[in-house]
């Protein structure tokens, strides 16, 4: 498809690595609250907030003046850690606003401006399945993404737009820094006993964006070295 691919949260972490890979082969627009110090050549960067529904709609409309989007990869997310019963409501509300409501707002803004046969790839987390302590609001928000994606697959199937989810296991980035100390235990629990890297998510995303995935929708692919098997 010739239209641009929108990548949210593409200024850092997994999103930045995806932009680096995908921008070499297709038009990519990155939506993030910040601009990276070393932007990827060929990628276009715009500042935006996925929780600003009205602003997001106007921004996406502006991106599509020359034609529809070919797809969306939604990586934007935040994390708050600590015992949930002690967590101020403002903190867990912020996690839900960005990770879940931001996903809803982004898809609502993008899907009407996407080509028929387009691709939507959302990001959940292995925590939605494992439910570790100290990360309840994050796990809840990411579980919500999975349920939402299944419903959107049904709603958008008539237009041949696929909606799928990637659920990473722990990969040490700025987002997961608070859990870096659990890495040895995570590695020990994986069928493939090594640390995850941001490179591990490039080919799964590329597959879900490809023509070869035109009959794959409503699915969640866990990429965690086999810690979760289903």
Asked if 138 is an active-site residue, the reply is yes
Rounded (10°) CA dihedral 155, 111, 122, 90:
-100
Secondary element (H or E) of residue 163: strand 162-168
Choice among 92, 138, 148, 201 that is catalytic: 138
Using CA atoms, how far residue 196 sits from 66, 74, 170, 209, in Å, is 38, 20, 7, 22
DSSP H helices in 162-201:
183-188
Structure tokens at 6: 């929108």
- Residue 42's CB is within 10 A of a number of other CB atoms, namely 14
Packing angle between helix 89-96 and helix 136-156, nearest 10 degrees? 30
Q: Which residues pair with 125 in a beta bridge?
A: none
The closest alpha carbon to 105, from 84, 129, 76, belongs to 76
DSSP category for residue 67: S
CA atoms 41, 75, 127, 119: torsion sign: negative
Any idea which residues carry the catalytic annotation?
138
């Amino acid at each position: 498809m010739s239209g641009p691919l929108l990548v949210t949260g593409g200024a850092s972490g997994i999103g930045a690595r995806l932009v680096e890979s995908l921008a070499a082969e297709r038009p990519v627009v990155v939506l993030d609250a910040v601009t990276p110090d070393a932007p990827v050549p060929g990628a276009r960067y715009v500042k935006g907030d996925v929780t600003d529904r009205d602003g997001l709609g106007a921004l996406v409309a502006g991106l599509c003046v020359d034609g529809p989007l070919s797809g969306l990869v939604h990586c934007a997310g935040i994390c708050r850690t600590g015992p949930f019963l002690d967590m101020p409501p403002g903190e867990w509300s912020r996690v839900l606003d960005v990770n879940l409501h931001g996903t809803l707002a982004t898809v609502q803004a993008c899907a009407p401006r996407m080509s028929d046969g387009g691709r939507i790839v959302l990001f959940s987390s292995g925590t939605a399945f494992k439910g570790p302590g100290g990360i309840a609001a994050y796990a809840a928000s990411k579980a919500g993404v999975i349920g939402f994606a299944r419903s959107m697959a049904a709603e958008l199937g008539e237009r041949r737009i696929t909606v799928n989810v990637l659920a990473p296991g722990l990969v040490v980035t700025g987002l997961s820094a608070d859990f870096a100390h659990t890495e040895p235990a995570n590695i020990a629990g994986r069928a493939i006993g090594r640390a995850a890297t941001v490179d591990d998510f490039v080919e799964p995303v590329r597959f879900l964006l490809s023509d070869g995935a035109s009959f794959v929708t409503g699915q969640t692919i866990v990429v965690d070295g086999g810690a979760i098997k289903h």
